[in-house]
Chains A and B, each alone.
Chain A
């Protein structure tokens, strides 16, 4: 019986925590996602970019983390667009249309704008990549 009580208490704590995580806990920085970047996000899933790239730590490790791709010195929009257009030795050329490239870059711009934790941490290893 005691075990059941502990079990139920834990479940209730978990459910409250879940509700908090779904709402107040993840408001994040006040940056709105444009329709274009939403489409970019879905393209990111459609082409499974996540197999090689991480965003906020989620994803495979063959390619670099893209969370702050746009604001990193020496990188940025044009660089990202060029890679997306041509691919590289390791990165495939997905034969994307101009619109698709634009939408993907918009998505990366949006992610970058939210990444305040990366930028505040001047010493963050990922920042210096």
Chain B
């Protein structure tokens, strides 16, 4: 039997470890905001930040990849090669450990989000190629008629590959020796990076919705493809709203501004379908995947509103470089991506007929509320920091003084961050135990 269950569970269990360890470093970083001397020598912000960001991004990718390995055989009958998937997993773990080792031993040399020494890009690229081969050989010849989630996964996988090549252009003097070019290309590739993981995650959400509702029309409709193409256009061109302040051709920023505003259509559509989806999801709210998907809807709404606001140049001039950007980054990666991926993990548990104990279900449901309420406080605190910083910068307040003024909000940010950590632990610990205990099916079913 061509079952990808075991390799999926390996990816998902490592994803959970990456998430929990990653948030732990985030909390350390949060402490350093209010206690500058906290672990300054041994685990300073220089290490804590890249450890945090790299590990949580690893969570997003490996939870998405694990899911795709699981869903592909369900969609197409079989995965091209299980062996290749194992090879992918092994190389992924080795590369990941090498990156962590570099961070712990203060070996940097890369760029934002990829701060490790550049030679590690080679194994990373190879890991991705293994995944690409498996994916494209599995869907070969079936792409055109495929439902939306296959298009999204295809886009996400291709764009991530492109991103990896593009972020390393700085190693060529033509890019390296011109800061305007370097920074612009860097922001551009970050746009593709975030866009690519969003495509993987949103595709996953569409797949789960289709399977739970039993309705295949929606994932093949023209309307859903219209929004996919709109999303793709944004992925390609809207990153320019990060560089309004960079002296590159104004054209790039103007295009980005126009394209970013098309997100209003997406926002409109969300509000339009809101009531319907609330009604539908109410019937299934007892199901954990639906519960997590519904909360991601709320976070899409909040973060998209924020994103559209800060894409307006007149607003961006003030909010740029403040914690509002961090609010947006973490609001989306936690509220949207993490919620959808948790829904996917619970969906897989359900599909495998793994029954969770009553106490586990109880803890998870409580954890759900702890995360969402903490995240709201976390998000609001960061926005408050951003607003104060923007207005104080305007008055010319010096940096140290500004940090003092932000202190109460940094405190609430930290406390809420600890809440996010505890809430996610309440959800992830039972999940992890179930993945590990049920790695090998107890009875092999014939279906």
Contact = CB atoms under 8 A, between A and B. Distances in A.
Contact of A128 (B49, B237, B325, B393): B393
Contact of A28 (B32, B45, B247, B321): B247
A125 B229 CA distance: 36
Given A57-B320, A92-B46, A126-B321, A114 B180 contact: yes
A62 B180 contact: no
Contacts of A92: 40-41, 44, 46
A20 B322 CA distance: 29
Contact of A125 (B44, B49, B108, B393): B393
A26 B249 contact: yes
B187 interface: yes
Interface in B223-250: 225, 229, 232-233, 236-237, 242-243, 245-249
Contacts of B72: none
Contacts of A129: 393, 396, 398-399
Contact of B248 (A25, A51, A55, A61): A25
A57 B242 contact: yes
B288 interface: no
B178 interface: yes
B137 interface: no
Interface string B160-189: 000000000100000111111101111110
Given A25-B251, A58-B186, A114-B247, A41 B229 contact: no
Contacts of B115: 45, 48, 50-51
Contacts of A45: 108-111, 115
Contacts of B151: 3
B36 interface: yes
Interface in B3-51: 32-33, 36-37, 40-41, 44-46, 49-50
B280 interface: no
Interface string B245-278: 1111101100100000000000000000000000
B126 interface: no
Contacts of B46: 47-48, 51-52, 92
A79 interface: no
Main secondary structure of the interface of B (DSSP, over half): helix
A57 to B, nearest CB: 6
Q: Report, as a range, how many residues of chain B touch the other chain.
A: 35 or more
Contacts of A124: 245, 317
Interface in A34-67: 38, 41-42, 45-48, 50-52, 54-65
A116 to B, nearest CB: 5
Contacts of A58: 111-112, 183, 186-187
A49 B255 CA distance: 31
B181 to A, nearest CB: 4
B136 to A, nearest CB: 15
Given A26-B185, A57-B243, A58-B183, A3 B399 contact: no
Interface in A74-129: 89-90, 92, 110-111, 114-118, 121, 123-126, 128-129
B317 A89 contact: no
A110 B179 contact: yes
A25 B245 contact: no
Given A25-B248, A25-B252, A29-B180, 20 more contacts: A3-B151, A3-B225, A4-B144, A18-B188, A21-B185, A26-B248, A28-B180, A38-B176, A41-B176, A45-B108, A48-B108, A50-B115, A57-B242, A58-B183, A61-B325, A65-B321, A89-B36, A121-B317, A124-B317, A125-B317
- 8 closest cross-chain pairs (CB), A and B: A28-B180, A26-B181, A48-B108, A125-B393, A25-B249, A128-B396, A14-B236, A56-B183
17 contacts: A7-B229, A21-B248, A27-B178, A27-B181, A33-B179, A38-B177, A41-B176, A47-B108, A50-B115, A56-B245, A58-B186, A61-B325, A61-B326, A62-B45, A114-B179, A118-B245, A128-B395
